[in-house]
Structure 1
Amino acid sequence: MIGKNIKSLRKTHDLTQDDFARIVGISRNSLSRYENGTSSVSTELIDIICQKFNVSYVDIVGEDKMLNPVEDYELTLKIEIVKERGANLLSRLYRYQDSQGISIDDESNPWILMSDDLSDLIHT
Protein backbone atom coordinates (compact mmCIF):
# COMPACT_ATOMS: atom_id res chain seq x y z
CA MET A 1 0.00 0.00 0.00
CA ILE A 2 2.78 2.46 0.89
CA GLY A 3 4.57 1.74 -2.38
CA LYS A 4 1.38 2.26 -4.37
CA ASN A 5 0.76 5.56 -2.59
CA ILE A 6 4.31 6.74 -3.32
CA LYS A 7 3.92 5.78 -6.98
CA SER A 8 0.58 7.57 -7.15
CA LEU A 9 2.09 10.69 -5.59
CA ARG A 10 4.97 10.60 -8.07
CA LYS A 11 2.61 10.25 -11.04
CA THR A 12 0.34 13.00 -9.70
CA HIS A 13 3.33 15.34 -9.91
CA ASP A 14 4.26 14.03 -13.39
CA LEU A 15 7.70 12.96 -12.17
CA THR A 16 9.87 10.17 -13.47
CA GLN A 17 11.37 7.75 -10.98
CA ASP A 18 14.73 9.48 -11.49
CA ASP A 19 13.27 12.91 -10.72
CA PHE A 20 11.30 11.76 -7.67
CA ALA A 21 14.27 9.80 -6.32
CA ARG A 22 16.55 12.82 -6.71
CA ILE A 23 14.08 15.07 -4.85
CA VAL A 24 13.86 12.73 -1.85
CA GLY A 25 17.54 11.77 -1.90
CA ILE A 26 17.44 8.10 -2.85
CA SER A 27 18.46 6.05 -5.87
CA ARG A 28 16.02 5.25 -8.66
CA ASN A 29 16.54 1.55 -7.94
CA SER A 30 15.51 2.04 -4.32
CA LEU A 31 12.41 3.96 -5.39
CA SER A 32 11.50 1.18 -7.81
CA ARG A 33 11.77 -1.41 -5.02
CA TYR A 34 9.63 0.74 -2.71
CA GLU A 35 6.97 1.25 -5.37
CA ASN A 36 6.90 -2.47 -6.17
CA GLY A 37 6.74 -3.43 -2.50
CA THR A 38 9.94 -5.48 -2.57
CA SER A 39 11.62 -3.21 0.01
CA SER A 40 10.08 -1.58 3.06
CA VAL A 41 10.13 2.19 3.37
CA SER A 42 11.70 3.75 6.47
CA THR A 43 9.76 6.25 8.55
CA GLU A 44 12.56 8.73 7.89
CA LEU A 45 11.97 8.48 4.15
CA ILE A 46 8.21 8.81 4.62
CA ASP A 47 8.85 11.99 6.63
CA ILE A 48 11.07 13.36 3.84
CA ILE A 49 8.43 12.58 1.21
CA CYS A 50 5.75 14.26 3.33
CA GLN A 51 7.89 17.39 3.72
CA LYS A 52 9.02 17.61 0.10
CA PHE A 53 5.54 17.10 -1.35
CA ASN A 54 3.47 18.70 1.42
CA VAL A 55 1.38 15.60 2.10
CA SER A 56 0.35 14.00 5.36
CA TYR A 57 1.72 10.80 6.83
CA VAL A 58 -1.70 9.20 6.35
CA ASP A 59 -1.55 10.06 2.64
CA ILE A 60 1.53 7.84 2.34
CA VAL A 61 0.94 5.01 4.82
CA GLY A 62 -2.85 4.91 4.69
CA GLU A 63 -5.25 5.07 7.61
CA ASP A 64 -5.06 1.34 8.31
CA LYS A 65 -1.45 1.81 9.46
CA MET A 66 -2.39 4.45 12.03
CA LEU A 67 -2.95 3.57 15.68
CA ASN A 68 -6.49 3.22 16.93
CA PRO A 69 -7.36 4.99 20.22
CA VAL A 70 -6.72 1.88 22.36
CA GLU A 71 -3.32 1.25 20.75
CA ASP A 72 -2.47 4.93 21.12
CA TYR A 73 -3.41 4.84 24.83
CA GLU A 74 -1.41 1.65 25.41
CA LEU A 75 1.60 3.15 23.65
CA THR A 76 1.30 6.32 25.73
CA LEU A 77 1.25 4.22 28.92
CA LYS A 78 4.34 2.30 27.81
CA ILE A 79 6.15 5.55 27.04
CA GLU A 80 5.32 6.89 30.50
CA ILE A 81 6.61 3.68 32.11
CA VAL A 82 9.85 3.92 30.13
CA LYS A 83 10.23 7.57 31.15
CA GLU A 84 9.67 6.68 34.81
CA ARG A 85 12.21 3.87 34.67
CA GLY A 86 14.59 6.17 32.83
CA ALA A 87 14.21 8.81 35.54
CA ASN A 88 15.04 6.20 38.20
CA LEU A 89 18.05 5.05 36.21
CA LEU A 90 19.17 8.63 35.67
CA SER A 91 18.95 9.28 39.41
CA ARG A 92 21.18 6.26 40.06
CA LEU A 93 23.55 7.37 37.34
CA TYR A 94 23.86 10.84 38.90
CA ARG A 95 24.57 9.27 42.31
CA TYR A 96 27.23 7.08 40.71
CA GLN A 97 28.81 10.07 38.99
CA ASP A 98 28.92 11.90 42.32
CA SER A 99 30.39 8.91 44.17
CA GLN A 100 33.10 8.49 41.53
CA GLY A 101 33.86 12.20 41.31
CA ILE A 102 32.99 12.33 37.62
CA SER A 103 32.79 15.95 36.48
CA ILE A 104 29.50 16.79 34.78
CA ASP A 105 31.45 19.03 32.39
CA ASP A 106 33.49 16.13 30.97
CA GLU A 107 31.86 15.75 27.53
CA SER A 108 34.25 12.93 26.57
CA ASN A 109 33.13 10.72 29.45
CA PRO A 110 30.62 8.06 28.32
CA TRP A 111 28.76 8.32 31.65
CA ILE A 112 28.06 11.98 30.98
CA LEU A 113 26.99 11.28 27.40
CA MET A 114 24.68 8.48 28.55
CA SER A 115 23.15 10.61 31.30
CA ASP A 116 22.60 13.48 28.84
CA ASP A 117 20.94 11.15 26.31
CA LEU A 118 18.77 9.59 29.00
CA SER A 119 17.77 13.01 30.28
CA ASP A 120 16.79 14.09 26.76
CA LEU A 121 14.71 10.94 26.34
CA ILE A 122 12.89 11.45 29.62
CA HIS A 123 12.03 15.06 28.84
CA THR A 124 10.53 14.45 25.39
Structure 2
Amino acid sequence: MLADKIRARRKVLDISQQQLARISGIAQSSISRYENGDGGITLEYIVKLANVLECSPLYLVSDEFGISADKEEQPSTVTPKELAVLRKNLKECLNIIGE
Protein backbone atom coordinates (compact mmCIF):
# COMPACT_ATOMS: atom_id res chain seq x y z
CA MET A 1 0.00 0.00 0.00
CA LEU A 2 1.28 3.48 -0.90
CA ALA A 3 0.92 4.79 2.65
CA ASP A 4 2.97 1.93 4.09
CA LYS A 5 5.66 2.22 1.44
CA ILE A 6 6.13 5.95 1.96
CA ARG A 7 6.39 5.49 5.73
CA ALA A 8 8.70 2.47 5.44
CA ARG A 9 11.10 4.19 3.02
CA ARG A 10 11.15 7.29 5.21
CA LYS A 11 12.05 5.14 8.22
CA VAL A 12 14.78 3.25 6.32
CA LEU A 13 16.32 6.57 5.30
CA ASP A 14 15.88 7.86 8.86
CA ILE A 15 14.11 11.08 7.88
CA SER A 16 11.10 12.70 9.51
CA GLN A 17 7.94 13.82 7.76
CA GLN A 18 9.17 17.40 8.18
CA GLN A 19 12.49 16.59 6.51
CA LEU A 20 10.71 14.76 3.69
CA ALA A 21 8.44 17.77 3.23
CA ARG A 22 11.34 20.22 3.12
CA ILE A 23 13.38 18.15 0.66
CA SER A 24 10.47 17.23 -1.63
CA GLY A 25 8.69 20.59 -1.55
CA ILE A 26 5.46 18.88 -0.49
CA ALA A 27 3.61 20.18 2.57
CA GLN A 28 4.12 18.13 5.72
CA SER A 29 0.36 17.95 6.21
CA SER A 30 0.05 16.34 2.77
CA ILE A 31 2.74 13.80 3.58
CA SER A 32 0.93 12.97 6.80
CA ARG A 33 -2.30 12.45 4.83
CA TYR A 34 -0.52 10.20 2.32
CA GLU A 35 1.01 8.11 5.11
CA ASN A 36 -2.41 7.77 6.73
CA GLY A 37 -4.03 6.86 3.43
CA ASP A 38 -6.36 9.85 3.78
CA GLY A 39 -5.65 11.86 0.67
CA GLY A 40 -5.30 11.55 -3.05
CA ILE A 41 -1.84 12.03 -4.45
CA THR A 42 -0.87 13.35 -7.86
CA LEU A 43 1.59 11.71 -10.20
CA GLU A 44 3.85 14.74 -9.80
CA TYR A 45 4.02 14.18 -6.03
CA ILE A 46 4.57 10.44 -6.45
CA VAL A 47 7.60 11.22 -8.60
CA LYS A 48 8.89 13.83 -6.12
CA LEU A 49 8.52 11.42 -3.21
CA ALA A 50 10.15 8.57 -5.12
CA ASN A 51 13.17 10.75 -5.87
CA VAL A 52 13.64 11.73 -2.24
CA LEU A 53 12.84 8.23 -0.94
CA GLU A 54 15.37 6.70 -3.34
CA CYS A 55 12.93 4.33 -5.00
CA SER A 56 10.98 4.20 -8.22
CA PRO A 57 7.50 5.67 -8.61
CA LEU A 58 6.39 2.21 -9.76
CA TYR A 59 7.51 0.71 -6.46
CA LEU A 60 5.37 3.23 -4.54
CA VAL A 61 2.16 2.62 -6.50
CA SER A 62 2.52 -1.03 -7.57
CA ASP A 63 0.08 -2.34 -4.93
CA GLU A 64 -2.64 0.15 -5.84
CA PHE A 65 -2.57 -0.98 -9.45
CA GLY A 66 -1.95 -4.67 -8.85
CA ILE A 67 1.44 -4.44 -10.51
CA SER A 68 4.26 -6.68 -9.45
CA ALA A 69 7.38 -4.52 -9.21
CA ASP A 70 10.53 -6.04 -10.68
CA LYS A 71 13.50 -6.64 -8.42
CA GLU A 72 15.17 -3.59 -9.93
CA GLU A 73 12.21 -1.48 -8.84
CA GLN A 74 12.44 -2.53 -5.19
CA PRO A 75 14.61 -0.26 -3.08
CA SER A 76 17.39 -1.42 -0.84
CA THR A 77 16.71 -1.81 2.85
CA VAL A 78 20.29 -0.79 3.65
CA THR A 79 20.28 2.56 5.43
CA PRO A 80 22.64 5.34 4.33
CA LYS A 81 24.58 4.91 7.60
CA GLU A 82 25.00 1.18 6.99
CA LEU A 83 26.05 1.87 3.41
CA ALA A 84 28.74 4.30 4.61
CA VAL A 85 30.14 1.64 6.97
CA LEU A 86 30.11 -0.95 4.19
CA ARG A 87 31.97 1.41 1.84
CA LYS A 88 34.57 2.20 4.51
CA ASN A 89 35.12 -1.51 5.23
CA LEU A 90 35.36 -2.28 1.52
CA LYS A 91 38.02 0.40 1.04
CA GLU A 92 40.01 -1.02 3.96
CA CYS A 93 39.76 -4.53 2.50
CA LEU A 94 40.88 -3.31 -0.91
CA ASN A 95 43.85 -1.53 0.65
CA ILE A 96 44.88 -4.73 2.44
CA ILE A 97 44.53 -6.82 -0.72
CA GLY A 98 46.43 -4.26 -2.77
CA GLU A 99 49.43 -4.26 -0.39
Give the TM-score band, short-chain normalised: 0.5 to 0.7
Residue matched to 1:57: 57
Residue matched to 1:16: 16
Residue matched to 1:3: 3
Q: TM-score, normalised by structure 1?
A: 0.48
Structure 1 gaps of 5+ residues are 69-124
Distance 2:38 2:64 in 1: 20
Distance 2:27 2:48 in 1: 14
Distance 1:45 1:16 in 2: 17
Residue matched to 2:95: none
Distance 1:8 1:35 in 2: 10
Residue matched to 2:75: none
1:16 Cα deviation after fit = 0.8
Structure having the higher helix fraction is: 1
Determine what percentage of the aligned residue pairs are the same residue: 33
Q: TM-score, normalised by structure 2?
A: 0.59
Structure 1 consecutive aligned stretches of length 4 or more whose deviation exceeds 6 Å: none
Tell me which structure has the larger Cα radius of gyration.
1
Residue matched to 2:46: 46
Preserved contact between residue 58 and residue 66 of structure 1 (Cα < 8 Å): no
Q: Which amino acid aligns with 1:25?
A: G
Residue matched to 2:30: 30
Preserved contact between residue 34 and residue 40 of structure 2 (Cα < 8 Å): yes
Structure 2 gaps of 5+ residues are 69-99
| Alignment root-mean-square deviation, CA | 2.0
String of CA shifts for 1:51-74, please: whole Å, max 9, x gaps: 233311222112551679xxxxxx
